[in-house]
Amino acid sequence: MNNCIFCKIIKKEVKSDLVYEDEEVIGFNDIYPKSPVHILVVPKKHIQSVNVLKDEDKELIGKMVLVARDLAKERNIFETGYRLTFNTGKDAGQTVDHIHLHLMGGKKLLFA
Ligand code: 5GP
Ligand code: ZN
């Protein structure tokens, strides 16, 4: 999508601190981390939010969860625990309209 910041990151038009990339998914550090580990796992396909997911996206979403789980292992928060979050819509605080999975951990997380 033309004006989407995450599409620009995916196309490397905007710089990011990449921690993972394959043909379908990227992972990069959140620019304003809310925990010691705060990675965004993002599909290369532009999907606005969970609200518009289709049956055909099932595998992609499953893959995002597994990528996040593997990154949790890599960052040594697999045992201590971590949170995976899809903020969806205004009340959840979704600010970027390109679906993304937050991987957060490295400290005791309180509910916001
Ligand atoms: P949301 O609030 O939509 O669930 O999460 C969007 C996240 O993207 C926020 O935590 C915000 O800090 C992060 N973010 C927004 N713009 C950029 C950017 O240009 N680069 C990176 N690395 N993170 C961003
Ligand atoms: Zn996008």
Q: Is residue 111 part of a domain?
A: no
Give me the pLDDT at residue 5, please.
Answer: 98
Which residues touch 87 (CB under 8 Å, ≥6 apart)? Answer: 93, 94, 95, 102
Residue-number span of the structural domain to which 76 is assigned: 5-105
- Pocket-testing residue among 9, 11, 29, 31, ligand 1, by greatest number of atoms within 8 A of Cβ: 31
Q: Is residue 112 part of a domain?
A: no
Q: Which helix (H) or strand (E) holds 6?
A: helix 5-10
Give me the pLDDT at residue 74, please.
Answer: 98
Burial of residue 62, with CB atoms counted within 10 A of its CB: 0-12 exposed, 13-18 middle, 19 or more buried: exposed
CATH of the domain at 77: 3.30.428.10
CA atoms of 33 and 54, how far apart (whole Å): 30
Residue 14 CA, closest ligand 1 atom number? 19
**% of the chain at pLDDT higher than 70:** 98
Q: Cβ atoms within 10 A of the Cβ of 16, count?
A: 19
Q: Is residue 25 part of a domain?
A: yes
Q: Is residue 9 part of a domain?
A: yes
Q: Is residue 96 part of a domain?
A: yes
Indicate whether 76 pLDDT > 90: yes
